[in-house]
Structure 1
Amino acid sequence: MTTTEMPGPVPAQGGGRSVASRVLSVLGAFSSERRRMSLSDISRRTEMPLTTAHRLVSELVSWGALERDRDGRYQIGLHLWEVAALAPRGLGLREAAMPYLEDLYEVSRQHVQLAVLDGAEVLYLERISSRDAVGVLSRVGGRFPAHATGVGLVLLAYAPPQAQERYLAGPLASFTARTVTDPARLRSVLAEVRRDGYVISDRQVTLDAVSVAAPVRDASDEVVAALSVVVRHGDPQPGALVPAVVTAARGLSRWLRSHPGRP
């Protein structure tokens, strides 16, 4: 799987920030923790004067990238969601994967997830969950450090060697005593994933959750995504779910191979 970094906007002449840079900083100020913000919040988060923030926010509202709620705060607009849905690694991949995710959910009755690698993080495109499934920190549209998740370990394992080395050279966050943060150990885990074709990530994020993940390949045989099931530690035994997870991932891979150029 190839990974590329999104180039930043070209600065305006004279060293100032370009209009594109400012617009992107407004959109980038929103997150799962900051879904709605006042104009003052946006101005502070983007380090822009209030008048500049007001002008840009007004233009974004007119275009539909932002919406204003009844309290006068701003949130991401539907038009931006429409545009984002055109990303082939987003909605298109999710739609192709849904039948396989649903089959896997029927078998496991646990959390079933689809994720892609975006830089040094996994981005979750979809999740199906039962009411009594173990609590997890992941969410649709959310991100997480790749080394601490089952889907992330799979995606890192098949990333280009140079991308792996860059990741291993960076700080590896620890979430529990079982999180793999030693580069040598992580390198060994990635080799095991390539050898076995799946991974069992044991309580790396929370001490009561274990994930089983496998790679999804496209028509050119590149790993473009990963599927996983997340279960409560000890119930059921994660090893028993390996065949189902691998089968679902292979089924989706076959669909992508038979539909080149899609999703």
Structure 2
Amino acid sequence: MSEGVRSADASSPQGVLDRALGLLGSFSEDEPELSAVELSERTGLAPSTMHRLIGTLLRHGLLVRVPDHRYAVGPRLWELGELSPLSLRLRERALPHLVRLYEATGENVHLAVLDGPDPERSHALYVDRVTGRQSIPTISRAGGRGPLHATGVGRALLAGRDEEWLRRWFSTPRDRETVHTVIDEAELRAEIERTRARGYATTREQMTLGNVSVAVALPHVGGLPPIAVGLVVHLERVAGAEAERRLSALVVQSAREIHAAIREP
């Protein structure tokens, strides 16, 4: 391909959009602010191209300047994100029920959806969470991602997938988040079957040491991705089967209430 063709492709609307998305995708929870040099390194764009692109994104509010000649994601992206069905239809309608579950337990409450372009790259996307000062600390955040095999909501979402989807998902490696994380396919398949049989998923110190998760997947809702709601509690608070049954019953009830609230467009 000639240099002229490459330049034309890069300046096309699609090429510009690809570059803008690549730039915005450079930001992360660990690095929410980046310099132009760092953005160039992450995207592979020439400094001159990067500065032109930054100027365009600044004008549209998709980027903002922060101290020390750095940039961060702009408010226009947040504004647009709030128009997503995940916000308008799911999070806003689910929030009263999440708060009720928190008030009943005093524990971390998570709302998550299955997200990813294909099974091999899917994860649990946290849409919302409710927590308090007495809740055990977690690493999750609204807008953050969690692995399907090591989180309660992830396990609940896995239980709703068919065999072809699972076959593709199992074809990719799984990270060991703690010394207790189950990554073996046979063990995970057994957990998926247990989740389907009892109606809720559990994880024990799979994502964070000292934490236990109890989660339930909602029935399918048209226009929304698969959804799960869950609790994350301290290991000592789920010491026996009776405590697990009590918490799982509360999560099941919350899932029913959320499903009733969101199933109408």
The TM tier, using the shorter chain, reads: 0.7 to 0.9
Structure 1 residue ranges (4+ consecutive) displaced by more than 6 angstroms after TM superposition: none
Q: Is the 8 Å Cα contact of residues 89 and 262 (structure 2) preserved in structure 1?
A: no
Moved more, 132-141 or 57-66: 132-141
Q: Is the 8 Å Cα contact of residues 94 and 262 (structure 2) preserved in structure 1?
A: no
Shift of the alpha carbon at 1:100? 0.7
Mapped pair 1:246 → 2:252: yes
**Letter paired with 2:150:** A
Query: 41, 48, 52: which one pairs with 1:51?
Result: 48
Query: 165, 168, 172: which one pairs with 2:167?
Result: 165
Any idea what the Cα deviations from partners look like across 1:176-223, whole Å, max 9, x if unmatched?
232110111111211222222111111101220001101123445987
Query: 181, 184, 191: which one pairs with 2:183?
Result: 181
Normalised to the residue count of structure 2, the TM-score between the two structures is 0.87
Q: 1:195 is paired with a residue of what secondary structure?
A: helix
Judging changes above 3 Å, is the alpha-carbon distance between structure 1 residues 13 and 98 closer, same or farther for their aligned structure 2 residues? farther
Shift of the alpha carbon at 1:19? 1.7
**Letter paired with 1:202:** R
| Distance across 2 between alignment mates of 1:86 and 1:161 | 33
| Distance across 1 between alignment mates of 2:90 and 2:244 | 26
| Distance across 2 between alignment mates of 1:197 and 1:222 | 21
Mapped pair 1:123 → 2:129: no
- In the alignment, structure 2 segments of 5+ residues that lack a partner are 117-121
| Distance across 1 between alignment mates of 2:44 and 2:224 | 41
Mapped pair 1:217 → 2:226: no
**Letter paired with 2:259:** S
Q: 1:37 is paired with a residue of what secondary structure?
A: strand
Match of 2:98 in 1: 101
| Distance across 2 between alignment mates of 1:32 and 1:189 | 30
| Distance across 1 between alignment mates of 2:196 and 2:29 | 33
Mapped pair 1:113 → 2:110: yes
Q: Is the 8 Å Cα contact of residues 126 and 145 (structure 2) preserved in structure 1?
A: yes
Q: Is the 8 Å Cα contact of residues 86 and 92 (structure 1) preserved in structure 2?
A: no
Percent identity reads 37
Any idea what the Cα deviations from partners look like across 1:110-164, whole Å, max 9, x if unmatched?
1011001112211111111121222211111111111100000111111243222
Any idea what the Cα deviations from partners look like across 1:60-109, whole Å, max 9, x if unmatched?
01011111124321111111111122221245311011011011001110
Any idea what the Cα deviations from partners look like across 1:221-246, whole Å, max 9, x if unmatched?
98721111100002143332011000
Q: Is the 8 Å Cα contact of residues 115 and 225 (structure 2) preserved in structure 1?
A: no
**Letter paired with 1:58:** G
Which structure has the highest helix share of the two?
Answer: 2
Q: 1:41 is paired with a residue of what secondary structure?
A: helix
| Distance across 2 between alignment mates of 1:164 and 1:227 | 21
Q: Is the 8 Å Cα contact of residues 216 and 223 (structure 1) preserved in structure 2?
A: no
- In the alignment, structure 1 segments of 5+ residues that lack a partner are 1-11
**Letter paired with 1:210:** V
Moved more, 205-214 or 194-203: 194-203
Judging changes above 3 Å, is the alpha-carbon distance between structure 1 residues 163 and 190 closer, same or farther for their aligned structure 2 residues? same
Match of 1:132 in 2: 134
Query: 207, 226, 229: which one pairs with 1:227?
Result: 229
